Amino acid sequence: MRNARLAIRPLSGAGGAEISGIDVAQDLDAAAVREIRAALNEHCVVFFRDQTLDVERHKAFARCFGAIFVHPLLKEASADPEIVMVRREPGETSHFGESWHADTTMCAEPPMGTILYGIDVPPYGGDTLFANQYLAYEALSGGMKKMLAGLRAAHRHGEAQSIHPVVRTNPETDRKMLFVNEYHTSEFEGMTETESRPLLKFLFEHGNRPEFTFRFRWQEGSVAFWDNRSTKHIALGDTGPFRRLMRRIQIRGDRPA
C-alpha cells in the first residue's frame, strides 16, 4: 500500500536521491516498485528516512526487486544466510567496506543491488560515499573507451574468480559503465597482474574522482538501496567511540555484459 505520491529529491549532481512519501515496510504496489526502480536507474542510489524494518519486512522490500542473493563466502557465518550484519565496535582498527569497491563481483552473477538498513547509528561519522560509474565511463577519452571495448578482467576473492567485461551495460537502460574495483579486480584477461597494474590503477582512481562521488549521512531508520552495477562505495571509519550496526540484504543480478 502506498502512503502518498512519491517525492524524489536528487542529492547531488553526481547521483543519489532521497525518496519520501512511502513506508517501505508496507506491501508496495506495482506502481511504487516501478517508480523506485526508475529512480534507482537514474540516480544509482536511493535513500529512505525514518523507516522501521524488521528482518522479514526488510526481505519483503528486497524481493520487490528480485530474489535475494546469498553471499557464497558468508552464508555459513549466520543462522540466516540471506542477511549480513555489518558491525563496527568502538576501538576496532579496521571495518567492513573500508576501501572503494562494488559488492561480491568475484561471482559469475554479482548482486544487482544492496539494501542497507541503519539499526544502531553513531551521532556522527560512519557516512557512506558512493561513486557513479556511468559518469566515470563517460568522462574517459574516446581513445580510452576504444581500448577498453571488449576488454575483460578477472575478479577474485580467495578461491572464487569470475571474468567480467571492463565496460558493462545496464540491461534496463543500455547505459555503459566502468566495471572494475580495487577489492576484486586483479588483472586483465590474457595479461599478467604486473602488466595489468598500471591501467587498473588508473581506472580504480579515475572511478573515485571527487566529481563522480556523493555522500550519505546515516540516521537510525535510514535505508540505502544502491545499484551495485553502476556504483562503487566506501564506508568511512570515523565513528570514534560509537558502535555502528547495519543490516544488509543483497538482490540477485545477472551475468555482466
Q: Does residue 74 register a pLDDT over 80?
A: no
Q: Is the pTM of this model over 0.85?
A: yes
Domains in the chain, CATH or no CATH each: 7-93+113-123+218-251 (3.60.130.10)
Band of the pLDDT at 2, cuts 50, 70, 90?
very low
List strand residue ranges (DSSP E) for the chain, in order.
7-10, 17-20, 45-48, 68-69, 84-88, 113-120, 128-132, 152-157, 160-165, 167-169, 176-178, 185-188, 213-216, 223-227, 231-235, 244-251
pLDDT, tens digit, 9 for 90 and up, residues 220-253:
999 999 999 999 999 998 988 999 999 999 999 9
What is the overall mean pLDDT for the chain? 94
Q: Does residue 73 register a pLDDT over 80?
A: no
pLDDT, tens digit, 9 for 90 and up, residues 116-129:
999 999 999 999 99
